[in-house]
Amino acid sequence: MDALAAWNGTKLERGPGTIKLAKPGIYLFVIAFSSVYYLANGPLLLGHLDLGWHLAAGDLIRERGSVPFQDPWSFTLGNRQWYNLSWLWDVIASVVFQYTGYTGLTLAVVACGAVIAGYLTSICLGSGASALAVGISVLTACVLYPAFATAPNSYLSASPNTPTMVFCVIFYAECLKRTRWFLLPVMMVLWANLHGGFMLGLLLIGFFGAVSVLKRDWAGLRIYSFAAAGCLVAILVNPLGWHIYNGVATTLGHFAQAHITEWWSYAANFTMPGSVPGIVYIAMFVAFELRHPAASTAPLESRLLAWLFLLLGFYQYRYMSFFFMFAAVPLALHLDRLLPKQLNELKVQSSLLVAGIVGMCALPLTLIYVKPALALPQLLSEQDARYLQTHFPHARLLNHWNVGGLLIFYTRGTVPVFIDGRSATAYPDELLRDYFSLIKWEIDEPAWDAVLDKYKIDTVLWVKAHEPLKRFLVDKRGWTEEYAGTDEVIYVKH
């Protein structure tokens, strides 16, 4: 047996497993308990710091009836075009929030998580793993991939990242299945208007095509080629046309990534105590794969894809969430070899069904428990924003990056912002470099003086705990601390 055959589990001609909706017990179990876990973390689902401006953008698009190409909320944009790659998600979130509030947003995110859990279960069952192995593998993946331990950089939250997670799993399933490849371009139309992560869809199709070449599977290569061509055309169905790629380029590979935590390497996050379960999961996967490479019956595509995103995850932490999802199939099959063979599958299914029903019954109770805590992040309260709006409506405000989106949500541009989480999709590179020169604990006095003078700043909204800034502005430059909220403070020049 050559190396490729060993990695493929059986023969080179081995086709992808059939994915069927069967065994309702395992589906109900995984979906119920993953949903309870997500709902119990409801405040974290609303914790993304960009949620404020996304909701404001959705309101603006609905009001105007078109997607704006110029930022209406800041005074620092210059001639920069605003590439809102998530305009459709913004509109949907705006509608959901208008009619159902924070509860509706939270439940919508939980529903997306349930879709991911269901698809992963279907894929793993289609690979031939037992229900118990699938339950362990998929439920573990569903607990780990949201990365709640590193909130607000979570990958299942009220943000456009969530549709990307959903579509990645759907594309993965359909690329394995092959029979409904023609649906991928249709879904790509939605994906390209929901989030800039649509490029991952092209990566997945290209990856499966490359493996088809490796396996000399010319029929598969033809299918993936047609799917890729259709998706390339589908991407153009958006308000930006082909300029959507310019918008993606302002994010991928941009120097601003070095200052945005979700783009940092895994090394910057794995020292957190909450990362221990993920480290154990990675160690188990690597140990199984290297110890028994020929024993796994997982599709070659699933194994290579898991390894690819594991390596990408070490490079940039955000990709580790995709590894947890894609590794579910090979890990389920590895676990299946370790489980007792004499297990009664019918009894296992019955037990999972009962447990799933219990989990479903726990959902409304969980919602009642977390509902009072559902709100936007409290880094900037509505009271803080209203104080600014009332006392400094014409301020030349220098605000901290993390509160820019919240300030937009509360004031809708009546207090123009300096910067927010839209980064290079809305702000010129020169401004970003100026801002990033300020975000150090120890004050770089020449840098602060230069920025304050260059942009004629007379008001600063900053983190309350940053005492060196207070000493610099108040003690050395004669500014006044006009207001102190729970987390933010306002300094004013006189």
The string of pLDDT tens digits covering residues 279-320 is: 999 999 999 998 877 666 888 999 999 999 999 998 888 899
Q: Name residue 121's amino acid.
A: T
Structure-block tokens of residue 265: 């390497």
Domain boundary among 368, 401, 429: 368
**Whole-number Å distance between alpha carbons of 160 and 50:** 10
The string of pLDDT tens digits covering residues 78-92 is 889 999 999 999 999
Query: What average pLDDT does the chain have?
Result: 90
For residues 131-152, average pLDDT:
91
> What SS3 class is residue 334?
helix
396 shares a domain with 355: no
> What SS3 class is residue 249?
helix
User: What single string gives the DSSP state of each residue in 422-488?
Assistant: TGGGTS-HHHHHHHHTT--SS--HHHHHHHHHHTT--EEEEETT-HHHHIIIIIIT--EEEEE-SSE
**pLDDT recorded at residue 258:** 82
pLDDT above 50 (res 272)? yes
Percent of the chain scoring above 90 in pLDDT: 76
**pLDDT recorded at residue 321:** 93
Q: Which domain holds residue 388?
A: 382-492
Of 139-148, 158-167, 342-351, 390-399, the least confident: 342-351
337 shares a domain with 480: no
Structure-block tokens of residue 358: 């219990």
**pLDDT recorded at residue 328:** 95
Domain boundary among 339, 368, 397: 368
**Whole-number Å distance between alpha carbons of 62 and 99:** 14
> Is the residue at 226 inside a domain?
yes
> Is the residue at 69 inside a domain?
no
348 shares a domain with 291: yes
User: What single string gives the DSSP state of each residue in 375-418?
Assistant: -S-TTS-HHHHHHHHHH-TT--EEE-HHHHHHHHHHHTTSS-BS
218 shares a domain with 263: yes
Please state the separation of Cα 46 from the chain's center in Å: 12
**Whole-number Å distance between alpha carbons of 320 and 349:** 31
- Closest by CA to 88, choosing from 237, 211, 248, is 237
**pLDDT recorded at residue 393:** 87
354 shares a domain with 284: yes
Domain boundary among 317, 340, 368: 368
400 shares a domain with 272: no
175 shares a domain with 134: yes
351 shares a domain with 211: yes
The residue with tokens 């975000």 is 439
> Is the residue at 68 inside a domain?
no
> Is the residue at 219 inside a domain?
yes
**pLDDT recorded at residue 417:** 96
219 shares a domain with 120: yes
Instruction: Give the pLDDT band of residue 1 (cuts 50, 70, 90).
Output: very low
Cβ atoms within 10 Å, residue 245: 14
**Whole-number Å distance between alpha carbons of 115 and 134:** 16
Instruction: Give the pLDDT band of residue 11 (cuts 50, 70, 90).
Output: very low
Structure-block tokens of residue 221: 């290569």
The string of pLDDT tens digits covering residues 295-305 is 668 889 999 99
**Whole-number Å distance between alpha carbons of 431 and 133:** 52
Q: What are phi and psi of 246, to 5 degrees?
A: -65, -40
**pLDDT recorded at residue 17:** 42
Between 287 and 12, the higher pLDDT residue: 287
The string of pLDDT tens digits covering residues 230-250 is 999 999 999 999 999 999 988
273 shares a domain with 128: yes
Percent of the chain scoring above 70 in pLDDT: 95
**pLDDT recorded at residue 32:** 97
Q: Are 421 and 49 in contact (CB under 8 A)?
A: yes
* Number of compact structural domains in the chain: 2
For residues 190-198, average pLDDT:
95
> Is the residue at 56 inside a domain?
no
Q: What is the dihedral of CA 278, 284, 286, 290, to 10 degrees?
A: 180
pLDDT above 80 (res 382)? yes
Global pTM reads: 0.90
pLDDT above 80 (res 494)? yes
Instruction: Give the pLDDT band of residue 10 (cuts 50, 70, 90).
Output: very low
**Whole-number Å distance between alpha carbons of 460 and 493:** 9
Could you give the count of Cα atoms lying within 13 Å of 409 in the half-sphere of its Cβ? 26
336 shares a domain with 392: no
Between 368 and 274, the higher pLDDT residue: 368
Please state the separation of Cα 66 from the chain's center in Å: 26
Q: Are 402 and 151 in contact (CB under 8 A)?
A: no
The string of pLDDT tens digits covering residues 248-269 is 988 887 888 888 877 778 777 7
> Is the residue at 318 inside a domain?
yes
Q: Are 452 and 398 in contact (CB under 8 A)?
A: yes
**Whole-number Å distance between alpha carbons of 323 and 168:** 11
> Is the residue at 460 inside a domain?
yes
The string of pLDDT tens digits covering residues 47-62 is 999 999 999 999 999 9
pLDDT above 60 (res 278)? yes
134 shares a domain with 24: yes
> Is the residue at 54 inside a domain?
no
For residues 5-10, average pLDDT:
42
HEC secondary structure over 88-141: HHHHHHHHHHHHHHHHHHHHHHHHHHHHHHHHHHHHHHHCCCCHHHHHHHHHHH
State the greatest distance between any 2 C-alpha atoms of the chain, in Å, as a whole number.
Answer: 80
**Whole-number Å distance between alpha carbons of 404 and 395:** 15
